[in-house]
Chains A and B, each alone.
Chain A
Amino acid sequence: LAKTTQPISMDSYEGQEVNITCSHNNIATNDYITWYQQFPSQGPRFIIQGYKTKVTNEVASLFIPADRKSSTLSLPRVSLSDTAVYYCLVGDGGTGRRALTFGSGTRLQVQP
């Protein structure tokens, strides 16, 4: 399974755009990139998933360059409630018989 590397922590202020980059140099052809968010005392929550180029939903955008060796989760205009740990996962979870691997994640702290 492809290993991911992401910053341990990031700080931001309310209203700013936050970009969290994840490196996955060994990504395989069949692998998708998935991001989760986890608040304290809760299980992780799926945010977004993509294979290439750009994906956007109501929560975030995911940018994936052509070589797919990295990806960037973009959170527009963060608020205090976006303070959480964000996990980048890479894997071929589509078969259902291979699980995704969570790393240590990026702890985002949003200040007022």
Chain B
Amino acid sequence: DVKVTQSSRYLVKRTGEKVFLECVQDMDHENMFWYRQDPGLGLRLIYFSYDVKMKEKGDIPEGYSVSREKKERFSLILESASTNQTSMYLCASSGSTGAYEQYFGPGTRLTVT
């Protein structure tokens, strides 16, 4: 079974802190994705990566950056956390067939106070 793990299930940070969210997949997938999910808004794509060191902006990249130094790991960085970044963050990966079948991690619920 594909396994996508995220570093934390719950995280509480203060406004202005730098926040790192880590995602690791164990299926040698080329593509990795970061989403945030908010009530009534569904999932919104923040960034995705189709190869090591490659990244593409999604629909809402402002306030975020990403890093993919190794194929299995995709990090989401909040340079200076703000309260409007309080959300559920979901990581996903997919294989060479593309983005159709994505495997999601359990999510990180981030609260910024």
Contact = CB atoms under 8 A, between A and B. Distances in A.
Interface residues of A, number: 26
Contacts of B102: 36, 44, 46, 100
Given A46-B102, A93-B99, A87 B42 contact: yes
**Size category, B interface:** 20 to 34
B104 A44 contact: yes
B41 A104 contact: yes
Nearest to A91: B99
Query: How would you classify the secondary structure of chain A's contact residues: helix, strand, loop or mixed?
Result: loop
A49 interface: yes
A93 B100 contact: yes
Interface in A8-54: 32, 34, 36, 41-46, 49
Interface of A: 32, 34, 36, 41-46, 49, 87, 91-105
